[in-house]
Amino acid sequence: MDAEDDSPPLKTLTRPQRRVVGTLIEKGLTTPGSYPLTLKAVVTGCNQSSNRDPVTNYTEGAALETLDDLAELGLVAEVHTAGGRAAKYRHLVRKKLTITEPQIAVLAELMLRGRQTLGELRARASRMVPIPSLDELREAVDGLMEMGFVSADGPLERRGATVDHALYPPDEAPPAAPAAGEPAAASRQTGAPAVDAEELASLREANEELRSDLAELTDRVARLSEALDDLRRDLGVA
C-alpha cells in the first residue's frame, strides 16, 4: 500500500464498485490510447455484453455515484486532460496495492466475471497481460490469496480447481464453488457433455479475442460520438 495513502484498506467492494474498477483496469491495459475513460466510456465498458458476467445496464448517474464512492476508497481519481472537455477517470489500484501486472489482470478478470477455473482465468486475463503458463498464473493467484483478495475451492494444482475474488461484502453471498468433479455451470444448464476445463479454455480463447475486439470497436464508436457532440457544440449546431 502507498505510504501516503490514508484511505481505508481494501477489504470489500459492492457489485457496482467491482464492475467499475474492473472495467477501468481492463481498459487501461487493453486500450491504453483511450485511457483514462470518460463517464460515457465507463458506462459503455461496464455494460458491454462481452467479457462480463452478469451483463449490466448501469446509467451514467449510477456509474458516477459509484465512481465517487471509489474515489473515497482511494481506488479512483478524476483527471482532466489538456484540451479535454469532459472529466475522465482512472483507477489507482497500483498505488493502493503492491501487486504485479499479472495479479492486477487476474483481480480485474475475477471482478468482471466472478468464479473461474484456472484455465479460463489464464485465457481471459492474458487479454490484458501476457501469462505464458499455468504455473505463472498459479504464482500470481497464490500471491493474491496470501493478501486475502482471492479464494480457491481447493489446491491450485488440482485439475478443475476454481478461484474467485474475496471482496464480497457481508450482505452479498459469494456463489458456491462447484463440487469436485462436477461439470461447469454452462454444461449443467444446457445438458452439454462436460469438457476438460483447460481444453475448454483453449477453445474459448479465440472467441474471447473476437469479443474483445468487438468491445474495443464499441468503445471507439462511443468516443467518436463524444467528439462529434463536442464539434457540434463548437460550431453551434444543435
Residue-wise pLDDT tens digits, 83-133: 667 899 999 999 999 999 999 999 999 999 999 999 999 999 999 999 999
Q: Where do the domains of the chain lie?
A: 15-97+210-218, 101-175+184-208
Tell me how crowded residue 98 is: count the other CB atoms within 10 A of its CB. Answer: 11
Residue found by looking up cell 462436477 in the block: 182
Residue 192: predicted pLDDT: 41
Residue 47: predicted pLDDT: 98
Take residue 221 and report the three cell numbers written for it. Answer: 464508436
Helix orientation angle between 15-30 and 60-72, rounded to the nearest 10 degrees: 90
Question: How buried is residue 36: exposed, middle or buried, by Cβ count under 10 Å (0-12/13-18/19+)?
Answer: buried
In whole angstroms, give the CA distance from residue 149 to residue 167.
6
Residue 1: predicted pLDDT: 46
The verdict on domain 15-97+210-218 having CATH code 3.30.1330.10 is no
Q: Check for a shared fold between 15-97+210-218 and 101-175+184-208.
A: yes
Take residue 9 and report the three cell numbers written for it. Answer: 484498506
Overall pTM surpassing 0.75 (yes/no):
yes
In whole angstroms, give the CA distance from residue 216 to residue 28.
12
Please state, for a pLDDT cut of 70, what percent of the chain lies above it. Answer: 74
Take residue 40 and report the three cell numbers written for it. Answer: 460515457
Residue 224: predicted pLDDT: 72
Give the architecture-level CATH label for domain 101-175+184-208: Orthogonal Bundle (1.10)
pLDDT less than 70: residues of the chain: 1-5, 83-84, 179-220, 222-223, 225-227, 229-230, 232-234, 237-238
